[in-house]
């Protein structure tokens, strides 16, 4: 199919006005299809050279109109070449729409990213966690810096984003931003959501993530063993702030709740379960999934310990908590006092619940997954690794059974 275009600039004398000036029109032809377009200029028909398709003379009006005609030709050639490069359909209508600004406007990555993040902020604390919303803004900053440094531009058209962009961005995150492998891939996934939005809205034709594989590295999760948990629990602490943080940490060890969930836990989240005992029922801040956790004696004891605390009475909370930043700082002090060399953080308590408190004591992984509020068993397996002691105990039971069977056979 012939996609060449032809233009003809001519006067429409039938529309000559009272001053004797006729409008100049451009006739655009593609594959024998014609469109007429007013260039919003008028001239005395006596001054029009129909053969050269321009105004006669070198006065200001003649120069301005002739320059305008040349600019329109130049724009059309540029639009035509762009459509050829993009393998886009070329018609008289598509060329005219693009010339008039009515064609498909280019969308830009940071523009779409910014709109997404603003919308996400309105859902923060409702449909998504505050930390997730914050992470998208961090990713936005990384992408912005990457575009400025790699492409020397303020923003980048979506159509210019390809697989090479993704690969280079991953390298940028690991080298310039000093992200570890898994952190870099998490930011890549944040970007992937923005690309999915663009593809769904048909702002992009090709998925730059096609054939790009995300492979997270296995991370060995730290957790406390039974002796370390006991060392923390029984340690005499004479500073209120340290006792408070220690008790909050132990409470998390025996409930599996993340810091954000402990911080928002109220009395209404404590219910009577089917077994007649007290249970915690709470929607997790991070995933909005329901966690159902029977209260173990030590967790109940900690709740009772702070029942008369002013903050508990005023805010209806279960236990008072300090900020996550302060809690982590104080936990490092407590670890030194208890002779624990592992890097204590509030989230380490959740890992400890999954591994030392539950799985090591024979709680099925399916039950642990439900208590942790995980959406899939795979996530639980990632968090909770059965310690060697549990494997040793299980194998000892098997060994004893096999020995007994061997003895009976000998008899």
Reply yes or no on whether the pLDDT at 107 is more than 70. yes
Enclosing H/E stretch for 91: none
Nearest to 361 by CA among 381, 398, 386: 386
**Confidence bin at 386 (pLDDT 50/70/90):** low
Q: How far is CA 272 from CA 82, 267, 279, 295, 312, in A?
A: 68, 12, 6, 10, 20
Question: Considering the chain, what percentage of its residues have pLDDT values greater than 90?
Answer: 51
Reply yes or no on whether the pLDDT at 393 is more than 80. no
Yes or no: say if 50 and 75 are a contact pair by the CB < 8 Å rule.
Answer: no
pLDDT tens per residue across span 299-308: 999 999 998 8
**Confidence bin at 385 (pLDDT 50/70/90):** low
Give the integer Cα–Cα distance in Å for 346 and 245: 9
C-alpha 298 chain-centroid distance: 37
Question: Considering the chain, what percentage of its residues have pLDDT values greater than 70?
Answer: 93
Phi-psi label, residue 74: left if phi above 0, alpha if psi -120 to 50, beta otherwise: alpha
Q: What is the C-alpha R_g of the chain?
A: 35
Average pLDDT, the chain: 87
pLDDT of res. 360:
85
pLDDT of res. 85:
81
User: The tokens of 296 are what?
Assistant: 């173990």
C-alpha 134 chain-centroid distance: 9
């Amino acid at each position: 199919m012939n996609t060449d275009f032809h233009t003809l600039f001519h006067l429409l004398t039938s529309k000559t006005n009272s001053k004797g000036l006729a409008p100049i029109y451009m006739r655009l032809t593609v594959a024998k299809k014609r469109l007429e377009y007013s260039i919003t200029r008028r001239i005395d028909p006596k001054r029009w050279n129909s053969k050269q398709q321009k105004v006669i003379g070198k006065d200001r009006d003649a120069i301005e109109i002739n320059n305008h005609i040349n600019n329109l030709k130049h724009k059309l050639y540029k639009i035509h070449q762009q459509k050829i490069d993009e393998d886009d359909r070329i018609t008289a209508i598509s060329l005219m729409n693009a010339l008039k600004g009515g064609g498909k406007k280019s969308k830009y990555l940071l523009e779409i990213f910014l709109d997404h993040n603003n919308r996400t902020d309105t859902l923060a604390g409702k449909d998504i966690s505050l930390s997730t919303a914050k992470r998208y803004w961090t990713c936005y900053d990384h992408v912005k810096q990457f575009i400025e440094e790699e492409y020397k531009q303020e923003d980048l058209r979506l159509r210019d984003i390809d697989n090479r962009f993704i690969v280079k961005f991953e390298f940028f995150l690991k080298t310039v931003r000093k992200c570890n492998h898994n952190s870099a891939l998490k930011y890549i996934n944040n970007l992937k959501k923005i690309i999915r939005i663009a593809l769904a809205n048909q702002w992009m034709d090709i998925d730059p993530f096609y054939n790009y594989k995300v492979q997270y590295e296995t991370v060995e999760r730290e957790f406390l063993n039974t002796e370390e948990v006991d060392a923390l629990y029984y340690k005499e602490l004479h500073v209120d702030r340290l006792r408070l943080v220690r008790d909050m940490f132990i409470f998390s060890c025996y409930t599996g709740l993340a810091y954000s969930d402990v911080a928002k836990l109220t009395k209404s989240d404590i219910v009577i379960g089917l077994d007649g005992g007290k249970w915690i029922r709470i929607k997790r801040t991070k995933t909005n999934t329901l966690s159902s956790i029977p209260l173990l004696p030590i967790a109940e004891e900690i709740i009772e310990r702070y029942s008369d605390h002013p903050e508990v009475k005023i805010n209806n909370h279960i236990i008072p908590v300090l900020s996550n930043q302060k809690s982590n700082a104080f936990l490092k002090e407590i670890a030194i006092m208890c002779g624990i060399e592992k890097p204590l953080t509030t989230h380490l308590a959740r890992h400890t619940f999954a591994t030392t408190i539950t799985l090591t004591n024979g709680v099925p992984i399916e039950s642990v997954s439900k208590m942790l509020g995980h959406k899939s068993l795979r996530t639980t397996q990632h968090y909770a690794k059965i310690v060697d002691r549990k494997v040793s105990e299980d194998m000892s039971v098997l060994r004893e059974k096999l020995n007994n069977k061997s003895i009976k056979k000998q008899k």
